[in-house]
Amino acid sequence: MKGLYVHVPFCVSKCAYCDFYSLLGRQDSIESYVQSVLREAGAYPPSFLRRDLKGELSRQNPSIQPPANEALEDFPSAADSRQSTYKKTSESAQTFQTLYLGGGTPSLLGPQNLTTLIHGLLVSPLAPCGRELERGVTSVVESTIEINPESAAPEFLQTVKNLGFNRLSFGVQSLSDCELKSVGRIHTSAQAVAAIKQAQKLGFKNISADLIIGLPGQTWTSLYASLETLVKMGIQHLSVYCLALEEGTPLAENPPADLPSDELQAHLFEETRAYLISKGFVHYEISNFALPGFACLHNLNYWRGGEYLGLGPAAASHLAGQRFKNYPNLDSYIADPTGQIEYIEELSKKEKAAEEAMLRLRLLKEGLDTIALAQKFGTDNVEDIITRLQKLSQEGLLVKDGSRFRLTPSRIMTSNPIFARVIAE
């Protein structure tokens, strides 16, 4: 396992587009929720995986594990500063090297509960480097917490800092108050800017912001203003998502008239990409831009088909080659945090290989190395995939570079049909 994700399912109000698992008005359950997360962590590995994982640990099969330093190879500056810690921790498959608190709104935990949670995780069987409690999460290569601008009180950010978090991801979404309001975000652009400044003052050197393309009324002028402000503030990472109308959300039920068309969204995305590249950002994944050395290692692990454990209701995991997910139900989670598995996905090696190919093609720079894929899954299981990749590159949808394939940049916004053909023809 490389990554540990904790899902914090609390929010103050529901955004119009949101279909994440998060609950309103349940903050009174935060304490018991934290205890349950620690119980779930304490019971690791999940009973159905105990045998598999032991086998894997004793085998230490190098072909299944990507090279230890792969996570860092494209980002030399990060590699320099973090290499030593990384190597040390990568020894044990049972502990994590990246930590990610997502939600929901993790910043709603408040200083007390966050401290309990992190300290608890560091004395759990998952803790890296033999429970170095005194070092906080600095013994983890990358530890991120998502922060919503309205709940980024200075004392909370200070706690985050003290606990050793080294990366913050702000849910900015837009710096136009109009746009924020139109989808029911409860913070202003000023709050977002202030929160980021505060974080910088506290010495955070790896800050990310989420932006949404396709908000009602959005234009290139308004989007550009948001981008420019954030870039000028010197943040290191931007996640740029496209607004999706998810079934059952208020936005999908009553779509406003001024929702940007697909054409406009595509245009906004192209402009964004060009602008950020001109400012030195690397477009390393379809939705993610980073200054060199600041790609999100936790998320990179997802795109590389890596293993991770998700704690909390609705959290997804990938361990011992199996993907599974907890029920999205806070109450049942609190009652029985270790008995929440909603499904366990059984895929054949061929299907796993195709899945990983599709995931890795999202990594625009790194791409997909077919030799490594064949090594990991066996030549027989990747033959068909390679044939399909070759065909796609002949059609100009992928770019072939030796044994590596990458998505053609102009096809980023229409990549689903391409990935669909990678998975199956």
Partner 1 sequence: MKIHEKFENYCQSIRLFLVPFAPLVILFRCMENIRNFCIIAHIDHGKSTLADRMLEMTGMIHTTENAQVLDSMDLERERGITIKAKSVRMPFKSQDGKDYILNLIDTPGHVDFNYEVSRSLKACEGAVLLVDASQGVEAQTIANAYLAIDAGLEIIPVINKIDLPNAMVEECRQQLQDSLGIPGKSALLVSAKDGTGVSELFEAIVMLVPPPKGSSDEPLKCLIFDSFYDTYRGVIPHIRIFSGSLKHGDKIMIKSTGQIHDVDEVGYFTPGLTPTGQITAGEVGYVGAIIKKVGSIHVGDTIISPEHPETEGIPGFRHTQPMVFCGIYPINTNDYIKLTAALEKFQLNDSSIIYEKESSAALGWGYRLGFMGMLHMEITLERLKREYGQELIATMPSVIYKVVTTDGQFAMIDNPSKFPDPTRIDHIEEPIITLRVFVPTEFVGPIMALSDEKRAKLVAMDHPDKKRAVLTYEFPLAEMITGYYDKLKSVSRGYASMDYDFLGYHAGDFVKVDILVKENQVDALSFISIRESSQTKSRGLIHKLRKLIPRQNFEIPLQAAIGGKIIAREDIVALRKDVLAKCYGGDITRKRKLLEKQAEGKKKMKMVGSVEVPQEAFLLLLKMEE
* Residues at the contact surface with ligand SF4, assessed by CB under 6 A: 11, 14-15, 18, 20, 22, 103-105, 148, 171
Partner from ligand SF4, partner 1, none contacting 148, C-beta within 5 to 8 A by type: ligand SF4
Find which of ligand SF4, partner 1, none residue 239 binds, CB within 5 to 8 Å per kind: partner 1
Sheet architecture: strand order including 404-407: 368-369, 404-407, 398-401
Cβ of residue 412: shortest distance to partner 1, in angstroms?
7
Q: How far is the CB of 18 from ligand SF4 (least distance, A)?
A: 3
Q: Per CB under 8 A, does 23 bind partner 1?
A: no
**Pairwise CA distance, residues 280 & 142, whole Å:** 22
3-state SS assignment for residue 76: helix
Q: Which residue number, 159 or 408, has a Cβ lying nearer to partner 1?
A: 408
Cα torsion through 23, 26, 27, 28, rounded to 10? -160
The span from the CA of 291 to the CA of 144, in Å, is 17
Residue 10, C-beta contacts closer than 8 angstroms, at least 6 positions apart: 22, 23, 26, 27, 30, 33, 103, 104, 105, 108, 109
Residue of minimal Cβ distance to ligand SF4: 18
Please tell me the distance from the alpha carbon of residue 352 to that of residue 423, in angstroms, as a whole number. Answer: 10
Nearer to partner 1, 74 or 345 (CB): 345
Picked from ligand SF4, partner 1, none, the partner binding residue 123 (CB below 5 to 8 A depending on kind) is: none
How far apart are CB 76 and partner 1 at their closest, in Å?
27
Residue 91 binding partner 1, by CB under 8 A: no
Could you say which of partner 1, ligand SF4, none residue 178 binds, taking C-beta under 5 to 8 angstroms by partner kind? Answer: none
Cα 3 from Cα 301, distance rounded (Å): 7
Is position 241 an interface residue for partner 1 (rule: CB under 8 A)? yes
Which residues in the 301-340 window bind partner 1 by CB under 8 A? 302, 308, 310, 315-318, 323, 325
Phi-psi region of 208 (alpha: psi -120 to 50; beta: other; left: phi over 0): beta
At position 288, the amino acid (one-letter code) is N
Residue 196 lies near partner 1 (rule: CB under 8 A)? no
Stretch 126-165: interaction string toward partner 1, x if CB under 8 A: ----------------------------------------
Does position 265 interact with partner 1 (CB under 8 A)? The reply is yes
3-class SS string, 339-376 = CCEEEEECCCHHHHHHHHHHHHHCECCCCEEHHHHHHH
Residue 218 Cβ, how far from ligand SF4 at the closest point, in Å? 17
Whether 237 contacts 208, CB under 8 Å: yes
**Contact call for residues 276 and 289 (beta carbons, < 8 A):** yes
Classify the phi-psi angles of 181: left when phi > 0, otherwise alpha if psi is within -120 to 50, otherwise beta.
Answer: alpha
Q: Which residues lie near partner 1 (CB under 8 A)?
A: 3, 5, 7, 102, 210, 213, 239-242, 244, 262-263, 265-266, 269, 286-287, 302, 308, 310, 315-318, 323, 325, 345, 355, 358-359, 411-417, 419-421, 423-425
